[in-house]
Structure formats: C-alpha cells, structure tokens
Amino acid sequence: MKFKKLLSAVLASAMITGMLAGCGGNPESEVPPSASGDTSGSTQSDSGGQSSNDAQAQDDSGEMTEITVVLRTLGTVEESASDAVEEAVNEITQREINVAVDLMWIDSAQYETQVPMMITGNEKMDLMMFTPNPSTTYNTLMSQNQLMDITDYLDQYGPEIKATLGDEFLAATSRDGRIYGVGNYGPLVFKSMMLVRRDLADAAGVTEQLENATTWTEVEEALKAISEQSGQGLVNADINGSVLTASPTLSAGENFSDGYVYDNLGDSANMFMANKETGKIECLYFNEDVQEVLRRTYDWYQEGLIYKDAAMSQDFGTTLLKNGVGCGVITTTEVGGEITSAASTGYDMIILNPVTEHQSMITTGILTKFGFGVPVTALEPEAAIKFLNLLYTADSGLGNLLSWGIEGRDYVINEDGCADYPEGVTAETVPYHIADFLYGSRMNVTPWAGNDPDLRQIQEESNQAAEISPYLGFTLDNTGLEATLTACSNVFEKYKTTILSGSCSQDYDTYYQQFLDELTASGIDELVSAYQSQLDEWLANQQ
C-alpha cells in the first residue's frame, strides 16, 4: 500500500476517534438508485455519502470517478512492489469502468484496528473487506451498522457478482431481504486434513498403517510409534492451541466416517453450532461430540502425542513443521488445498482426510469468512460495486494481478498452465505475492504451481455437488447481546488454549466442568435462547 497515505489516515483517525466512538451510520439511511435507474427519492446520507443523483450526473458527464479500496493482506506489502500493481489495476479499471482506484493494503495484524477507525473517523474508504478478525467480521460490522445496503447497486452494477453467487449464496450476506456484503467465491466445502511427516513415519515403520488408517485408534497407535522413535507429536493448528478441533469439522466417533461438518451460523466467537437435524442451537462446549474430541485431545497430550508447548505457541502448524517442530498437524482445508499446505512445510507429507468433502456442506460461515462490503461512510458506492464486479469477471485480469502480482516480475505461467515464480525468483525474494483466496472470485485466479491445472474446474464441480446447509442465509444477530457475548467470550479466552491443546495439568473433568459453570454464570444460556428465537423466526419465514 501507499504507506504515506495510510499513515496520514491512521493519524487523522486516532485524533478524532475519541469524539466519534461507537457505531457507524445507519445502513438504512442510504437510498441507492433502483435497478430501473430512478433516483428521484435519493438523498445524501447522514454519514456524508454522495447522493445517487450526484453520482449519476458524474457518470453522465464522463468524468473519472475516484475510489479508495482497502484490502487485507497476509503480511506487509512494500510500496516499491505495490506501485506497479496499483498502476496495472488502474489501467484496467480506467479503461473498463472509468474508475480510478487508490489501493490501500493493510496487513492482517493491523486491519482489525485500522479499518474500524477509518469508518468512525469518516476517512475516505469506498470498499473494504470483512474478515475473520473479531472487529471486522461480517456479523460485527452489521451489528455496528457499518455496512451499506447495496441491493440496488448490485442490480445495476454487479451482473457478474449476481451471476456467480446467485440469490442463494448472496443470502448469506443479507438481512431482511436486503444485501449488505458480497462473500468471496471459491471452493465452498471444508474438510479436515491430517499431515504427517513421511520421514518420521518411515523411521517408525508406520507409513502404510497411516496411509490406510480409517479409525482414530489406528492413528493413535501410529503416533505412539512416531513419538517413541522421534519424540515428536502433533502441533497446534492455530494460535488458539487447537490440535484435534479443526472447526467447523468435527471428528467425533471412532471411525473417520463418523465425522461431519457443523454449521456455526457465521459465529466469529467460535462458541455456537446448529444441529441440522433438529434446528437447535447449542454452545459448542456443551455438545457431547465436541466434548468427546476434547477429551481425546487431553488423553493424547498426557501420552506425549501432542507438542508440549501447543497452548503457548504463537505459530501456526505448518510454520512449526517447517521449522522442524512436531510430526504433523490436523486442520481444515478445501478441495485441492492439501497439496499447497503440505508443500509449505518443506517435508514430504502423508495426507489423510478424516472428514471429507462428501461429509461437508456449504454454510453461511464459509461465505462470510472473507468478502467485501461498502462502508456507510463511502462516497462512491456505485463505483465501488463496479470495481467489485470486475473482481468477479473472468477475463478482467484483476484476479491474478491482485493475488500473484505482475506477470513476468512476480509470476509466470508454467508449461502446466499454473502460476509459478519466474526463474531466479523465490518465495523469499518475490516483490509481490499475496494469496488466491482473499479478493473476489478465486475461480478467476490461475492455480499456483503444484496444483492440478484443472483445480478450478474440480472445485466448481465440488461446489455444485455439495450439500447446502438448511440454515444458509441465517446469521446470528448480536444486537443488544454485546455485553453478554463479551462476558462469555472472556470465559472462553481464559480456558481455550488449555482445553483445545489438551494441556490441562489439573483433574480434567473438574477443570472442564469449571469452564462450563463459568460460561453458564456469564449468560451462555441467554445467548443460546436469543439465537434460537432468531433462528426459529427465520425458519418460519422460509416456509
């Protein structure tokens, strides 16, 4: 990103945040143009947004519209590398939609604090991302009234978005029939993935046993042999200490075939799930299947099958493995994701899928994990949707550009038809390289080297064949429940790394019951009851 521009934005926000604390404007105060182009009822919003009449006049005059687009990255993007990307983006957008784009890249560590500050500080920002970061999740932004109703803008300026997602998937980012965001499109079914270092399995003589494993007892026996041979165990998948709980997959039961994917209803707090058979919402940690998996985690930790510092590690599993720590990891992936994850460790890996895509389903949470929204403070919502529509346009070129950078400098297309580093360029030296899952439709991004060249077709076919959650389109509404949710989240934060890693040093049953008792005392039943009422009402309206 342009660091000077971001710095000035952040400084300005910091100066006035104290005076502008709280939520953004009311999304219902924006009156976008109708699909027919009738703007007679449009007015300027209280948030300072431009009226639709003004924007239409500007379009008719042929003047270039300027927008600011804020993108989350996975790390720092140097200005020297991003200048060329921004220039290339503008060559496309100015030619195709008469829009000049000021791109602001913000790394994941800063995104969740800076973007809310930009909204409350009324900084110029016409398009932004919702992410898994707590303060910038789709649910959080909606509860703060910080996302604009873009229904009519999509009708008029988003034909490729609507053709790609359709009403069914756009329902995931809708409320009361109005659309407030656009989820990223890509492989939409999750499955669990277990990676185990082949060299350690070979040394312990359990490679064939692991490759053919279909039960957790078989896995446990193999891990015991590896631990005795090398002293290495499974590492945490994330910084929460998760070892066997690869949310939203759940490996309950003895057999892999007993596992399933649950619908978390877009819950960013990682505390709730819905039973697709009964329509009942419950706290994850009161669920018997979850408790079974957590007890297995504790038992394996006591047996030395889990990395002893899993609860304290601030590294993700693949990073730990790359650094020579641990024998394997259990996490989630999507169709085709195993190869990339395994390659990132630097080791030859045995790959297992305890919960497969055939045990999975498409849920609201998958479609609200990453995506785009127009903040209520946006000055140019029409142009923002035009730009977003290009991210969903197959031949626009923006997918590869924002994901892999400048062709010839940052990537080339190899003989297999996949993107790869140019000769002499490595992951450590490439000027610009982000990821393929962050910006719009992943189906418009060329697969990276090592993947099947037909990966996008395979992923699309998987989406078409997938089961759809009966609750797709429903999201938890935290309005009025913020204090109780915070209290329960604080309890979870207190216990989570110990419970998820299995590293409890006390009597486990007593410790776990203490965790549940504190959740109850903090109001978890109140949350479940409120969410259940919301879901029941939503289901009734679907009849």
The model's pLDDT over 70-120, given as tens digits with 9 standing for 90+, comes to 999 987 888 889 999 999 999 999 999 999 999 999 988 799 899 999 999
> DSSP secondary-structure letter at 263?
B
- CB of 249 closer than 8 Å to CB of 355: yes
Lowest-confidence pick of 94-103, 332-341, 413-422: 332-341
Quote the pTM value.
0.79
Residue 17 has pLDDT above 60, yes or no: no
Residue 481 has pLDDT above 60, yes or no: yes
Cis preceding-peptide flag for 32 (omega within 30 of 0): no
Q: Work out whether the CA dihedral 211, 213, 219, 224 comes out positive or negative.
A: negative
Q: Name the band, by pLDDT with cuts 50, 70 and 90, for residue 61.
A: low
C-alpha span between 123 and 12 (Å, rounded): 8
Backbone dihedral region for residue 277 (phi beyond 0: left; psi -120 to 50: alpha; all else: beta):
alpha
Q: Name the band, by pLDDT with cuts 50, 70 and 90, for residue 35.
A: very low
Of residues 529, 406, 349, 428, the one with CA closest to residue 88: 406
Q: Which residues pair with 182 in a beta bridge?
A: 372
C-alpha span between 424 and 413 (Å, rounded): 15
Mean pLDDT of the chain: 88
Task: Please name the residues in contact with 260: beta carbons below 8 A apart, sequence gap of 6 or more.
Answer: 249, 250, 252, 355, 359, 360
Q: Work out whether the CA dihedral 509, 515, 521, 525 comes out positive or negative.
A: negative
Reduce the DSSP state of residue 524 to 3 states and report it. Answer: helix
The arithmetic mean of pLDDT across residues 308-314, rounded, is 94
Residue type present at position 59: D
Of residues 318, 386, 423, the one with CA closest to residue 59: 386
Residue 18 has pLDDT above 80, yes or no: no
Residue 32 has pLDDT above 90, yes or no: no
Q: Name the band, by pLDDT with cuts 50, 70 and 90, for residue 276.
A: confident
The arithmetic mean of pLDDT across residues 342-346, rounded, is 85
Residue 225 has pLDDT above 70, yes or no: yes
Task: Please name the residues in contact with 291: beta carbons below 8 A apart, sequence gap of 6 or more.
Answer: 285, 512
Reduce the DSSP state of residue 151 to 3 states and report it. Answer: helix
Cα–Cα–Cα angle for 190, 237, 260, rounded to 5 degrees: 35
Q: Which is higher by pLDDT, 52 or 133?
A: 133
| Distance (Å) of CA 107 to CA 73, 77, 434, 538 | 5, 8, 11, 36
- CB of 179 closer than 8 Å to CB of 158: no
C-alpha span between 111 and 293 (Å, rounded): 33
The arithmetic mean of pLDDT across residues 369-398, rounded, is 97
Cβ atoms within 10 A of the Cβ of 492, count?
A: 21
Q: What is the pLDDT at residue 142?
A: 92
The arithmetic mean of pLDDT across residues 495-520, rounded, is 97
Q: What is the pLDDT at residue 452?
A: 92
Lowest-confidence pick of 23-32, 324-333, 467-476, 532-541: 23-32
Can you list the domains of the chain with their CATH numbers?
1-17+60-187+363-468 (3.40.190.10), 190-359 (3.40.190.10)
- CB of 139 closer than 8 Å to CB of 476: yes
Lookup result for tokens 């300026």: 157
Q: What is the pLDDT at residue 217?
A: 97
